[in-house]
Chains A and B, each alone.
Chain A
Amino acid sequence: MVEFLQFTLSGAVFGMVYAAIALSLVLIWRGTRLLNYAQGGMAMFTTYVAIEVIYRTGSYWAGFVVALAAGMVLGAVCERGVVRLTTGRPPLNAVIVTIGLLILLEGLAGIFYGGQYRSFPAAFSIIGLRVGHTPIGVSRFDVFVAAAVLVTTLAFAAAFKYTAAGLRLRATAFNPTIARLSGIRVARVLTVGWALAGLLGALAGVLVSPSTFLYPNSMDTIFVYGFTAAVIGGLDSPAGSVVGGLLLGIVLSYVGGYLGSQGPDLTALVALGILVVVLMIRPDGLFAGARLRRV
């Protein structure tokens, strides 16, 4: 029973990281109908920036803040500089362009920072917390991770609902044509969307890197699972990302925990299984809107 709790909680923490990636993908998908395959790579790159700042200033929080800012800048630059050039072209062109960005970022990280595994500090203690004498499977840092993602998500949700900028983003996401005809500068809105997605990705990167170490490919698996979480939840649904992320994180934690040595090899298969089951029942994800009737 205690084990179950431990696996559940530690799985939930990872799940929140997947949710952060999933949310960044959903944000871009809703605004531009594009999947940003470079999201993991962007998160990795900003985490490297963070670690440089931490080494130079000795302050974790300086690095944290710079990472988030760098994420916004990187997101905006990628959209404005590169992805925008694919508008009006076949949709798969943007896929290849973002893949190219991913590869470019991984190469640049290797050039600037070297390829070896680096450790990344945690904001708080990583010693397991206990209730009485029983370890519950998570540390103070883990709680921070879950809280950080949750707070950011809620902050975004509030901003979308209650601010003018948020309204512009939603209008553009729901109906870019009407948004333009109302005078909304859709191009600028899209850049802001990518910047916010970049922030979410950067957050995921600094939160998960203490566990995974940092190297040019360190965010690849996280990206795959974040993408899966987004698909499970439904690409148009931020709530779906959180649910999908938690579901995936917790179930995979059980797999790794209960299946011992075979666990790690089977996580991908189990994730595939979850994905197949969900998509068979709901081809557009758990929180999909009504589907058009197909003939």
Chain B
Amino acid sequence: MTVSTLPRRLAVVVVVAVIVAFLSIKLGAFRDYQIAEIAYEVTAVAGLTVLTGLSGQISLGHGAFMAIGGYATALVLMHLNWPFIVALVIAAAVTAVAGGVVGVAAARLRGPYLAGATLMLGVALPAVAYAFPATFGGDQGLDVVFTVPSFLGVNFPLTRWQAWVGTAVTLVTLLLLANLCYSRIGRNWRAVRDDDVAAALDGINVAVARIRAFVVSATCAGIAGSLLAVITALVAPGAFTLTLSIALLTAAVIGGLGSLPGALWGSLLIILVPTYATDVASSHGLSSSVGSNIPIAAYGVVLILVMLAFPQGIQGGVRRLIALFGGPLAREREHIATPEHSEKEGSS
């Protein structure tokens, strides 16, 4: 199974890379920036969708891991002056360790208790930056310097380089993630998610599987945070608020829980809908309090409507469309789908 699909995945990666490169040249600097933004969101959301969708553990605080990755990158670049790729790897490693710690603490927690703990994590961790302003720059944060490498020439726009780097890192991360999901590790996650007692009886070490899922998803978030640092050129507590953590979960669920393409749909939705709504509102010249709040209200409505219309997320909707028009493609995707049965009590 893996052998025949790995080439397919590589092909997808190459095609997407080419498309993005093309778009980044055609479209202007602002769109390039958005591509870069979407890239790091997708990375974080992909990690979260694997954690929640495949291993069944919810996290309302993944912004904390992005913060760890971002600050680690900023500090390495600032104090050690090493190349970005090295800073990225260090940030990933540090976040992986953090993910392990959280995973161990979370291993025995279920559902809403895990939600509560991770929610508080998402709130508390960025506050550390305020508590130690000397190291972390406090409210103002740390500036991050990121430049275009010289071999690309002086006229190569920074935003385009950011889009390229972001996309490249994201695609590699997604590729590795996909391989993991279809491997035995991924199967163990799904087994633990569906029935952890049965999984344990099958010889799967439930705690290790759950911790491993946290480590992997935290690492993805750390990588995303690292990208955020170099793309926005700043790491500050204001970039890693609870709103970010909530947005990541929203993107994961609305895109289609457990689905990597879903991470893309979800990220697109949470980035583009508010931007679009803001554009529409400001083009109508509404007063500032009304004008700035209509996009917020609209975004809320969109979340509700999409969630009600697509209970399996956007990717679920895509799957239904594909099932209508093309059989074989649909069957392969079912493999990685979310749990079959709703666990809500009282539904008869």
Touch test A–B (CB under 8 Å): yes
Chain A residues in the interface with B (C-beta under 8 A): 29, 32-33, 35, 82, 85-93, 95-97, 99-111, 114-116, 172, 176-177, 180, 186, 216, 220, 224, 227-228, 230-231, 235, 262, 265-266, 268-269, 271-272, 275-276, 279-280, 283-285, 294-295
B155 within 8 A of A: no
CB neighbours (8 Å) of B307 from chain A are 86, 93, 96-97, 100
Q: B296 to A107, Cβ gap below 8 A? A: yes
Q: Which of B302, B308, B344, B348 contacts A91, CB < 8 Å?
A: B344
Contact among A99, A115, A280 for B303, CB-based, below 8 A:
A99
Query: Do residues A230 and B116 form an inter-chain contact, with CB atoms below 8 A?
Result: yes
Q: With both chains docked as a complex, state the minimum distance between the C-beta of B229 and any C-beta of chain A, in angstroms.
A: 22
**Do the beta carbons of A220 and B293 come within 8 Å of each other?**
no
| B311 within 8 Å of A (CB atoms) | yes
Contact B300 A110 (CB under 8 A): no
Contact A89 B311 (CB under 8 A): yes
Asked if A92 and B257 sit within 8 Å, CB to CB, the answer is yes
Q: How far is the CA of A111 from the CA of B298 in the complex (A)?
A: 11
Q: A33-B344, A90-B311, A92-B58 in contact; A265/B117 too (CB < 8 A)?
A: no
| Known contacts A82-B304, A99-B303, A115-B289: A294-B197 contact under CB 8 Å | yes
Tell me which residues across on chain B come within 8 A of A177, comparing CB atoms. Answer: 345-346, 348
Q: Across the interface, name the chain A residue whose C-beta is closest to B116.
A: A231
20 A-B pairs besides A87-B344, A294-B200 with CB distance below 8 A are: A92-B58, A92-B253, A93-B307, A97-B308, A100-B300, A100-B302, A103-B296, A103-B303, A110-B292, A111-B293, A176-B346, A228-B119, A231-B116, A235-B112, A262-B131, A275-B116, A276-B105, A276-B117, A279-B117, A295-B201
* Cα separation A265 to B131 with both chains bound (whole Å): 6
B131 to chain A, nearest CB (A): 4
Select from chain B the residue with minimum beta-carbon distance to A102.
B300
Q: Which residues of A have CB within 8 Å of B257?
A: 90, 92
CA distance A12 to B309 in the complex (A): 44
**Chain A contacts for B120, CB-based, 8 A:** 224, 228, 268, 271-272, 275
Q: Indicate if B165 sits at the interface (CB-CB under 8 A).
A: no
A193 to chain B, nearest CB (A): 12
Smallest CB gap from A180: residue in B = B348
Write the chain B residue with the least CB distance to A98.
B304
A109: shortest Cβ distance to chain B, in Å? 8
Is B339's CB within 8 Å of the partner chain A?
yes
A104 touches B116 (CB 8 A): no
CA–CA, A176 and B109, complex, Å = 25
A265→B123 CA distance, assembly (Å): 11
Q: Would you call A227 and B200 a contact (CB within 8 A)?
A: no
**B30 in contact (CB, < 8 A):** no
| From A93, A265, A284, contact of B253 by CB (8 A) | A93
Residues B249-290 near A (CB distance < 8 A): 249-250, 253-254, 257, 289-290
Pick 17 A–B contacts, CB within 8 A, sort by A.
A86-B308, A88-B342, A92-B52, A99-B303, A102-B300, A104-B300, A111-B294, A177-B348, A216-B293, A228-B116, A265-B130, A268-B123, A269-B124, A269-B127, A272-B124, A275-B116, A275-B120
Report B-chain residues with C-beta under 8 Å of the C-beta of A224.
Answer: 119-120, 123, 242
